[in-house]
Structure 1
Amino acid sequence: MDQVQSHFLSLLRDHEIEISAEQLTQFEIYFKELVAWNEKMNLTGITEREQVYVKHFYDSLTLSFFVNMKDIHTLADIGSGAGFPGIPLKICFPHLKLTIVDSLNKRILFLQNIVDQLSLDGVELIHGRAEDIARKTQYRDQFDLVTARAVARMAVLNEFCLPFVKVGGVFAAMKGSDPREEVEEAARSLKVLHGRLTGNHHLTLPLDDSARHIILVEKAGATPKAYPRKAGTPLKSPIV
């Protein structure tokens, strides 16, 4: 174990997360594959090793500081990109049944390689638009926890993500800068999509103290039949 890994473990222990040597190896393989594939396709602008461990891996796991993962069985990661936060959460909490939805097939191919390299069980990778997938019975109103990291503004995210959440489940939006304005803008979409704001948590990342916010929304009722609207509409015409 080197200094980067030791620091990573220390950061997790501060939040009572313990991982095994095997799990630590999985993170290292993930890092190496991310950097290798990033030379062929645009997955991330962050490739320096310590930065990846903190700004991708640790950042992804901060969701578990505010949501008890022991109570979560099914997790959907919408617009996951290079697998954040879904894959780090799956590595740390192997019991999770993870579904990742992404609109770009090249990213799905990368994620399939990661799943294979890390021998992860219980992961489903779906190539498609969130608005289309959320219309399918097997995914609609089904998940304990749904998350999206740095994907879109809240008014849009609510329509992308809340249709996947089961009644009583949670949608967690992972944001950078202060999202208060976004949250206010999204009030109508929350009401329409039967979401109830339950938390807005702030933290700073190690290394550069960059701000992070995690917005938690509880699903209070089944998704109305009219939503989500057809692919592309939420971005062009958010519910505001």
Structure 2
Amino acid sequence: MKINKEKFISQLEKGIKDLDISYSNEQLQQLWEYYLFFIEENKKYNLSTITEPEEVIKKHFLDSLVILNQLNIDQRKRWLDIGTGAGFPGMVLKLFLPGDSFYLLDSSSKKVNFLNQLIYKLGLSGIDATHGRAEDLAKISEWRGSFDFVCSRAVASLNVLLEYAVPFLKIGGLAYLYKGPEYKTEIEEAKNALDILGAKIKKTIELDVPGLEAERYLIIVEKNNTTLQLFIMQHP
């Protein structure tokens, strides 16, 4: 597949402008290199079925960056991306929040291998891709309760995402969880989990991703109490 760099950069730049996000030419170049490496390695690793330039821009890059509009960061933060896959949203966010520390977690070793190669290729620091499962790492003291922000685009019920994400947060920390049009039902079903985990829904936002017609919502969850290790779930 022949890819036109000028067209790719132009479409990417327009989308970022539409999101009203500040950017640099260096960041556009990094996303271009990210895309090229993603497409090449996808032949080996089957990272995603979404590979066309326009689709990757709106469904992966812009969909990841839309979180930036909800942040109010006045100092460096520590992030965890659960079920990061090929680095969405965590790797993309790192390019726009270079001073923050990012940990990209996935249970697929091939995806983690891809991410570590990409980190090296882009010359990034303050970011690490880790192979493992959230329910296992949340039981380790160095991970539990140590993150300011957790994000996830993983396909799972809100109940499950909460029980994966909340144990990693510091008290006062926030989880940014992507959901589809059934989010209201999922929130209702997650009320008990929120109480047990010591968390609350802070805000629900309908996302407007340029060029993306699918209904997307961001559930912002705040941790307001310590999560007992007893309630860190174990899935097969």
State TM-score, norm by structure 2: 0.93
Q: How many residues align?
A: 232
**Residue in 2 that maps onto 1:197:** 201
Runs of at least 5 residues in structure 2 that lack an aligned partner in the other structure:
none
Change (3 A) 1:68 1:19: same
**Residue in 1 that maps onto 2:165:** 161
Distance in 2, matches of 1:44 and 1:69, equals: 31
Alignment pair present for 1:57 and 2:65: no
2:107 to 88, 100, 103: 103
SS class of match (2:103): strand
SS class of match (2:228): coil
**Residue in 1 that maps onto 2:191:** 187
Work out whether residues 59 and 212 of structure 2, in 8 Å CA contact, stay in contact via their aligned partners in 1. Answer: no
The residue type equivalent to 1:174 in the other structure is Y
Distance in 1, matches of 2:43 and 2:234, equals: 34
**Residue in 2 that maps onto 1:89:** 93
The residue type equivalent to 1:124 in the other structure is D
1:207 to 211, 215, 224: 211
**Residue in 1 that maps onto 2:33:** 29
State the identity %: 36
The residue type equivalent to 2:6 in the other structure is D
**Residue in 1 that maps onto 2:44:** 40
SS class of match (1:34): helix
Alignment pair present for 1:18 and 2:22: yes
1:61-88 residue CA offsets vs partner (Å, 9 max, x unmatched): 1111122244551110001111100000
Where in structure 1 do 4 or more consecutive aligned residues deviate above 4 Å? Answer: 69-72
Distance in 1, matches of 2:139 and 2:154, equals: 23
Work out whether residues 204 and 210 of structure 1, in 8 Å CA contact, stay in contact via their aligned partners in 2. Answer: no
The residue type equivalent to 2:140 in the other structure is K
TM-superposed CA distance for 1:180, in Å, is 0.8
TM-superposed CA distance for 1:225, in Å, is 2.4
**Residue in 1 that maps onto 2:220:** 216
Runs of at least 5 residues in structure 1 that lack an aligned partner in the other structure:
233-240
Distance in 1, matches of 2:212 and 2:198, equals: 37
